[in-house]
Amino acid sequence: MTTTDYATYIASLPRVLAAAAALFRDEAGRVLIVEPNYREGWALPGGTIESETGETPRTAARRETAEEIGLDVELGPLLAIDWSHGTARPPIVAYVYDGGVLGQAEFAAIRLQEEELVSWKLIAREEVTTYLLGSLGRRVLAALDALENGRGPAELENGHPAR
């Protein structure tokens, strides 16, 4: 295969998006979520992985968290990875990392990225699928389960267990 043939082959491959987020909790186990101004529903702090800069999922989650809520926190283990088909976008591979339990000082230090976010709040596990729609809500519940059972990251497809 020539270099030109290989480049043509690579250009013909399907596109897949990649994103990473951090799951932060308070001492009561409530989940920190953010409200974007550019789409419906709420989200975890996080965003797109900038692969052109060589960014990894973990570094993307940390960078996005620092940009979006002003907290630069070393992240814990990977809790979930989800392959999610989209209808209005290409498929996405979404990574969720443990952001840990934040105290009052960290919550007081939150500064929203006004270009993208309207607000933030803490929600109980029972509210996750009310605020985090579709596969995102199921992904967060699977990440919380991974934290509880300590069996490592959940492998998901559209937010459902892959097995």
Residue 137: give its domain's CATH number.
Answer: 3.90.79.10
Confidence at residue 7, expressed as pLDDT on a 0 to 100 scale: 82
Q: Would 8 be classed as within a structural domain?
A: no
Cα 151 to Cα 43, 147, 163, distances in angstroms: 25, 8, 15
Strand partners for 132 = none
Q: Would 103 be classed as within a structural domain?
A: yes
Question: Could you tell me the two tokens for 112?
Answer: 């929203």
Confidence at residue 31, expressed as pLDDT on a 0 to 100 scale: 98
Q: Give CA–CA dist 72/107, Å, rounded.
A: 12
Residue 23 is which amino acid? L
Q: Would 3 be classed as within a structural domain?
A: no
Residue 97 has pLDDT above 80, yes or no: yes
Total domain count for the chain? 1
Question: Could you tell me the two tokens for 44?
Answer: 């975890």
Confidence at residue 1, expressed as pLDDT on a 0 to 100 scale: 66
Domain that holds residue 95: 15-161
Q: Would 67 be classed as within a structural domain?
A: yes
Q: Would 110 be classed as within a structural domain?
A: yes
Q: Would 5 be classed as within a structural domain?
A: no
The predicted model scores a pTM of 0.91
Sign of CA dihedral 122, 127, 133, 134: positive
Q: Would 1 be classed as within a structural domain?
A: no
**Nearest-10 Cα torsion for 20, 101, 138, 116:** -50
SS3 state at 57: helix
pLDDT tens digits, residue range 103-130? 999 999 999 999 999 999 999 999 999 9
pLDDT tens digits, residue range 24-78? 999 999 999 999 998 888 999 999 999 889 999 999 999 999 999 999 999 999 9
Q: Which of 88-92, 142-146, 156-160 has the lowest mean pLDDT?
A: 88-92
Q: Which residue has the tokens 């270009």?
A: 115
